[in-house]
Structure formats: C-alpha cells, structure tokens
A and B are shown apart, each in its own frame.
Chain A
Amino acid sequence: MSFFRFPPFPKIFLCIPLIALIFVLLVWPLALLAVRSVQEGSNILGEGAVGSGLTLANYIRIVADPLYREALLHSLGLSFIVACSSIFLCLAPAWLFVRKEFPGKRLVRALFALPMSFSGVIVGFLVIIMLGRIGFVPKFFEGVIGTPLFSGAAYQFIGLYIAYVYFEIPRATLTLESSLRKFDFQLEAAARSLGAGRWQRLFFVMLPLMWPALISTFAVTFCVSLGSFGVALIISRRFSLLPLEIYQEFTGFLNNELAAAMSITLVTIAFLVNYSLALWRVRREPVHA
C-alpha cells in the first residue's frame, strides 16, 4: 500500500506541456505564415502583388505561373509514386517481422529502422557516393562489364526517386508492421480450411483486411516525402519540387510572402491527405474486432 496518494486531478494537466509546445511550435508559426501569405509582397521585380494590403495573388501565382505549378505537380507526383513504391517494397519485410521468428530478427529490424535517423542531406550524399559520377555502382559496372552504368544517375530523376524511397523505408516498414500486428491471421487460416486458393485468399481475404494498414502507411510516407527537402537540395539538378522553390524564393529573392503561400499550400495538402485517408480508413476498418 502506498502511503502517498495525491488528490486526483484531471489528466488534461499532463497534456499541458505538449499543448504549449504545439502552440508555440506549430499553431503560432503557421498563423504567422498564413497571415504573411495573404499580404502583398515587396517583390523587387514588381511581379505579382506589391503593396501592403491583403490579397490572394500569392496563391494564384502558385497555380498560374508554370514554374511553381510544375513544382507543385512534381512534388505531388513524386510523393505519390514514392509512397506506392515504398509500400510495395516494405510489405514483405513487415509481414516477416510480424509472422516469422528467425535468428537475428532484432538486428535486421534495427537495420531497417536506421535510415530514420538520417537527415535528408545525408541521404543525398549517400546517393552521390553510390550513384554519382564516380560512385560505387558505376565503378562496379566499369570493372565488371567495362561501361560505367548509372554514372551520374544521382543527379537525374532516378537518383531522386531512389533517395526518397530509401528515406521512406523505415517509416513504411514500421507503420506497416504495427498495423499488421492488429491483423487477425485466423481469418486467413479459416479461408484456407474452407478451400480458398492462394490467390483467392490474397484478393478476397488478405487485401481487404490489409487496406487500413496500407492506407495509413501511404498517408505517412506521402506526407513525409511531400515535405522532405534535404535530399532534393543536395541532388536535384533541375527537377523542381515545391520545398526547393520555397527555399529559393526565401533565400534567393526575399520573396517571403510567396514562400509563405507555398508553405501553407504544402501544409494544407499534407493535412487534407492525412485527414481524408484517416476518415476513409475508419470506414474501411473491419468490424469483426
């Protein structure tokens, strides 16, 4: 029996530090950005809005100017295929981690989680070391077949794609694994004992049950890719992405209002994707549990 027992108090107090932190580091800066994004800029070039009133011109420019529109579409497209690819790549290992015991499993899991601790800039350098002009892969092919295949691939779209997928591997694996843990594997066994074939089991039992796991993994990897910046900063040559444009407008042109509008656009997209996928997932969640 413990002697001290503090009088009960609402659990909400325990959340105060977090609420304060979120306010200071999320709500407040976002509010500042949102305000700035509708202000008329002081763009020296005289492009777009100049003055001190309120305007939506910054947002209109993102859609109207081909440079920014393209960057936005690139960001969405790249994030989409990276999210799909990382799910495809990581489903099997996540499945293994949940279902099978094998020697060294902890070690392998730790290795999978390792890239999580790398910043984007480091991943960018890794890709250059592997796929740069004199990277490991081209050197290897030069030694084996005489031609340096993939030389300089790091600076092309393929390098960006590989770096982003690599960046998402731990996120995809860990999210998939934790979702698959909730999976009722007896249902699969039941289907098998009722005579369902391998593909029937996959398409009519497993996949419908796995949807929520896939959706939440997609949401995580898509949003992380959308905001990722370091990788592209290091290796992207001319494939523009919205985070790079934000950096460029801010540092290169002091066009803070447009940069703010682009940031708000990115945040809004990430939030909407996350939120709508979460709603959808709830609807798809199997009811048996």
Chain B
Amino acid sequence: MKFVFKVIPTVLLALMVFAQWTGAESEIRLASKGEKIMKMAKERVVIQYDCIPNYANWGEVTQTYALKTGVRIPPDMKGSSAALAALEAEKSNPQADCAYYSGAIGFQAAQKDLHAAYKPAGWDQIPESLKDPDGKWFTVHTATIAFIVNKPALNGKPVPRTWDDLLKPDYKGMIAYDDPTWGGTSFTMVYGLNVLKGGSSTDFKPGLDYFTKLDDNILNYPRDSIYNDVLRGEIPIWINADGNGLKMKYIDGGDIEVVIPKDGSVSMPLVMGMVKGAPHEDRVKEYLDWLLTEQAQSIFAKSFFRPVIPGTMPADVAAKFPPKEDYKGVQNLNLAEMSAAADGLKKAWLKEVRGRR
C-alpha cells in the first residue's frame, strides 16, 4: 500500500514534467505572439523625459496628440537635471525617445552627445538663437523669470517689484525658489541674476552675494513642484517662470500677481532634443514635427508659455500677459556660456547659499 502511495505521485509528477516538456513548444509560440502584441503596444508610445502634466500644459498637449494619432506619451515627473542624469545613465541602452529641458540643460545634453540631430518640420521658423545649427536641440517655447505672488498670503505687505525688494525683512520666510541643482528653471534664474548683477560665466560672486542675502528670507529650496503650495498660500512668493503664475491666476483662479522685476529679468528657452538611439525613432520624429505645428504651439500658449513659432499665440492669451513694457528689461542668455558654467555654479550655490550657517 505504502509503495502505491509513493509510486503514483512520482509517476504523476513525471507525467506532468513530460507534459510541460511537450507543451513547451506551443508555449514558445504563444510567447512570441505575446511579444508581438507587446511590441505593437510599445510602438504606440513615445517616451518623453520631463513631461510634467501641469508644466507648460504638457498634459493637454500629450492628450491631444493621443486622440489625434493614438500615440500615447506617458507623464514623466523628472525635472530637467534628473532627465539629463537618466539619459546619461541609460546611454548604452536608451529608454527615452526625446526629452524636454530648460535651455542650458538641453544644450548640455546635446554636448554630452546624448541627442541625435533632427530638424523637425517648422524648423526654419525658429529664430536662429533658439536652435542648434545641427538640429541637436531646438526651442519649443520660452518663458520669463518672474515673481509669482500670492497676494492674500502676503498679509498686507506690498507686492515686491524688484529683486532688491525681495531682500526686505518684510518677506522673511515668505520666498521660495527651486533648488537650482534640481530644476532647470531655477538654475536659469540663478545664472541669469548673476549676469544681471554684473557677473559672468566664470565670475559667480555678484549673483552668490545676492542669493546669500536673499537666503535670510527663504522658506525652502524645494526639490519637487510647489505649484499647489503657492496656490494655497503656504508659499507667498515663488521665483519661477511667468507662465506658471499666469496659469495659477487665469486657469486655477488664484489671487495671484505675476511680477516681471523692474530691475530686469531673463528669458528662458525651453528646448527639446531627440535622444540618440531612440527606441521609437520614426514615431518620435512625427511627434516632434507636430509639436511645432500651430495646434500644439497654441496649446502650450494656453498655459502661458510663449510659442516659439511666430504668429501661433492666440490673441486672447496674449492679452492676459503682463503689459509689453514690463518685458523691456528681459535679457536673453548665451546658452553655451550658461551650460559651461552649470556644474561650477551649482556647486558654488550649494556651498555658499544652501550650506551657509
């Protein structure tokens, strides 16, 4: 009896193994079919690093594209620098098709040979200074550094108008700007202010002196989007792109004022590049072509980022921007110089400003 109990299961087990064995072939066939389906599904996406839905209206842009073509661009929450780091780490086996950055970081990515050259349709309409002659990067829209002020949260203090206003003790613990080692917007701001204060791509002292003084009034150097905190009034003054503040004001209905500082500001191109060895090369080319069409450009414009293609800004959106004369003191920065200064300035900022005791 005992013998039977031992033998039967053993035989059964052997049979099962045998069945597995013969079934293996059909399973391989199944697997390859599954792979095909996976591959087809994969072909229907384009991977874009730094695709934050409530930044520059990427949410609506990608949704519109998906409805139009069936190609999905999943959201991606990396900031510019994180996107660059990811591309660098995946250099030998690229996962992304394209990436979006603030200008200097995109320039740096192209320099590090992470981009392939591609000149999308509409290339000729981009102003010369806003694209790489070889097509390693090109601007999709621009923004201006501004103070985004939540007026009720100021508790009756006046709205700051100049960079020097921000140094007043009135604003102690009320100001935030993103950690410039995290986000490209903030890095552009730090670099740009250094230039405005008389510094250069090798002399950071004028800028760092200012930020060291400003540090007394800083609440936090966030490494995550604080859009909602500003809207809620947790953070009354955010130094960031004008477009984000205008969106808070007109789309999310916050009591927000967007101030272009009277003593000057800088403009920031937001650029894209096609990743070298992009896994879905044909699709990403079509997508990049589409981003420069009037349809895509006017969707960016809806969240108040200035379209790079002239004449695509809808008139009702243009009317909501601060008056033109406010933008008179806005300078364009040299991306090559800014990108060369990137690591040095970030390190210096860490030591002198965040590491200050």
| CA–CA, A254 and B111, complex, Å | 14
Determine whether A6 belongs to the interface, using a CB cutoff of 8 Å to chain B. yes
Quick one: which of B315-357 are within 8 Å of A by CB? 343-344, 346-347, 350-351, 354-356
A182 close to B (CB within 8 Å): no
B356: which of A132, A235, A238, A252 is its contact (CB, 8 Å)? A238
**Does A284 make an interface contact (CB < 8 A)?**
no
**Bound Cα distance A34, B346 (Å):** 27
**A248: CB under 8 A from chain B?**
yes
Q: Are B182 and A134 in contact (CB under 8 A)?
A: no
Q: Report yes or no: A133 in contact with B219, Cβ–Cβ below 8 A.
A: yes
What's the minimum C-beta distance from A157 to chain B, rounded to whole angstroms? Answer: 13
A45 part of interface (Cβ distance < 8 Å): yes
CA distance A262 to B351 in the complex (A): 18
Contact yes or no, B224 A233, CB < 8 A: yes
User: 1/0 per position for B204-242, CB-CB distance to A under 8 A?
Assistant: 000000000000001111111000010011111000000
Q: Identify which of B78-86, B138-146, B292-300 touches chain A.
A: B78-86
- A152–B5 Cα distance when bound, in Å, is 72
B54 sits at the interface (CB 8 A):
no
**Cα of A251 to Cα of B6 in the assembled complex, Å:** 60
Residue from the list A135, A238, A253 in contact with B355, Cβ < 8 A: A238
Q: How far is the CA of A128 from the CA of B5 in the complex (A)?
A: 65
List A contacts of B181 (CB < 8 A).
248, 251-253
In the complex, the number of residue pairs spanning A and B with C-beta atoms less than 8 Å apart equals 80
Which residue in A3, A133, A238, A252 is a CB contact (below 8 Å) of B346?
A252
Known: A44-B343, A133-B219, A251-B82. A238 touches B88 (CB 8 A): no
**Interface check B153, CB cutoff 8 A:** yes
Known: A45-B344, A128-B229, A252-B181. A67 touches B350 (CB 8 A): yes
Q: In the complex the two chains form, is A134's CB within 8 Å of B234's CB?
A: yes
Asked if residues A237 and B220 are in contact (CB atoms below 8 Å), the reply is: yes
| Contact pick for A134, options B10, B233, B355, CB 8 Å | B233
What mask results when residues 195 to 237 of chain A are scored 1 for a CB within 8 Å of chain B, else 0? 0000000000000000000000000000000000000011101
A11 within 8 A of B: no
Residues in B whose Cβ lies below 8 Å from that of A59: none
Which of B85, B220, B222, B229 contacts A251, CB < 8 Å?
B85
Is B89 located at the chain interface by the 8 A CB criterion?
yes
Interface string of B31-49 (1 = CB under 8 A from A): 0000000000000000000
CA of A152 to CA of B85, assembled, Å:
32
Q: Which residues of B contact A235 (CB under 8 A)?
A: 220
A251 touches B224 (CB 8 A): no
- Is the Cβ of A128 less than 8 Å from the Cβ of B234? yes
Tell me whether A45 and B343 are in contact in the complex, defined as CB-CB below 8 angstroms, given that A133-B219, A134-B234, A238-B355 are known contacts.
yes
A6–B13 CB distance below 8 A: yes
For the complex formed, measure the closest distance between the CB of A226 and the CB atoms of chain B, giving whole angstroms: 20
* CB closest chain-B residue, reference A8: B6
Report whether B229 and A234 are in contact in the complex, using a CB–CB cutoff of 8 Å: no
Q: Is B9 an interface residue (CB 8 A)?
A: yes
Q: A66's closest neighbor in chain B, by CB?
A: B355
Q: B residues within 8 A CB of A133?
A: 173-174, 219, 234-236
Residue pair B84, A253 in contact (C-beta under 8 Å): no
Indicate whether A132 sits within 8 Å of B234 (C-beta atoms), given known contacts A67-B350, A253-B347: yes
Pair A6/B354 contact, Cβ less than 8 Å = no
Q: Report Cα–Cα, A104/B219, bound state, in Å.
A: 42
Q: Which residues of B contact A4 (CB under 8 A)?
A: 8-9, 12
The B188-205 residues at the A interface (CB cut-off 8 A) are none
The answer to the question of A250 belonging to the interface, with a C-beta cut-off of 8 Å to chain B, is yes
Binary B-proximity of A129-145 (CB < 8 A = 1, otherwise 0): 00011110000000000
Q: Is the CB of A254 within 8 A of B9?
A: no
A152 to B82, CA, bound (A): 28
Taking a contact as CB atoms under 8 Å apart, the answer to whether B229 and A7 are in contact is: no
Residues of A within 8 A of B343 (CB): 44-45, 253
A-B contacts, 20 listed (Cβ < 8 Å) = A4-B8, A4-B9, A5-B5, A6-B9, A6-B13, A7-B9, A45-B343, A67-B351, A132-B234, A133-B173, A133-B174, A155-B220, A233-B223, A233-B224, A240-B355, A251-B82, A252-B81, A252-B181, A252-B182, A254-B85
